[in-house]
Amino acid sequence: MTARPPAQDGKGPAAAAARLTGRPATGERRLSGALAEVTLNGGQLVVVKRADDLGAVRAEAAGLRWLADTGTVRIPAVHGHDERWLVSDRVPSGRPSAQAAVRFGRDLAALHATGAPHFGAAPPGGLEDAYIGLAPMRNVPGTDWPRWYAEHRVLPYLRRAVDDGTMHRTEATVVERVCERLPELAGPAEPPARLHGDLWNGNVLWGADGHAWLIDPAAHGGHRETDLAMLHLFGCPHLDRVLDGYQEAAPLADGWTDRVGLHQLFPLLVHAVLFGRGYAEQALAAARSALAG
């Protein structure tokens, strides 16, 4: 699909890009219902994203800038935003390679190492009531990861899944037992890491420059193994090489592979709330595996 001239009604992605960047838009190409590629005067391509939930754009923009400020992973520059629209760089697409994957692993380790003030820390300018995808996510500060993870990343979505009928009350007790045992299951204590927070493969763009670029963060202070567990959950090209690069830069604590399911409880329950029973069953399987381990 080729770019077309922008609509002249003063609405839509091209108008938003022009208003937020101060540069005329000469064309637009719809990528999805919420995304468009817009050509600015001079030929620069930007991606324009629309959100219906007030605060979602502000949270995403703050997250992108917080991650970019580290100078570690590649993050598209934010050119402007308001309550509905976000304008950022377009990443020219390439192909994933083993070399790029190793580099991504090292960069991700460097990102995590920049840290956060506490677990649940929101990016500067971000929101306490933020989002992960289309689901609400509260950034509430904590100093003890097992307790914080249970109270603010697992149990809220478990309760919602039960209330919605996606998970039976009797099944939920399995996840609740995991939360009770988190202090013994969580492994060695670690300081808060600066997380992307929604690191599934769809939010990793393999650029033409040979680097992996990260988009659509739910950035917050958390445990670094949570980002890695998300990469495992939904698949990532050359994941073994990503992990090689990560371990070379910042070795993970012993037993981290046994804790992957524990960290996947958060995204699986989010997906259960958003997309239904299939993910609830996966969350139950991850909980049972964590208890058996």
Q: Which of 198, 216, 240, 258 is catalytic?
A: 198
Residue 144 designated active-site: no
Single-letter residue type at 39:
T
In angstroms, rounded to a whole number, what is the distance separating the alpha carbons of residues 94 and 235?
18
Single-letter residue type at 55:
G
How far are the Cα atoms of 39, 65, 79, 130, 269 from residue 125, in angstroms, in the given order? Answer: 28, 10, 16, 11, 27
Determine contact, residues 80/40, Cβ cutoff 8 Å. Answer: no
- CA 11 and chain centroid, separation: 29
Radius of gyration of the chain (CA): 20
- CA 130 and chain centroid, separation: 12
In angstroms, rounded to a whole number, what is the distance separating the alpha carbons of residues 12 and 36?
9
Determine contact, residues 211/100, Cβ cutoff 8 Å. Answer: yes
- Active-site amino acid positions: 198
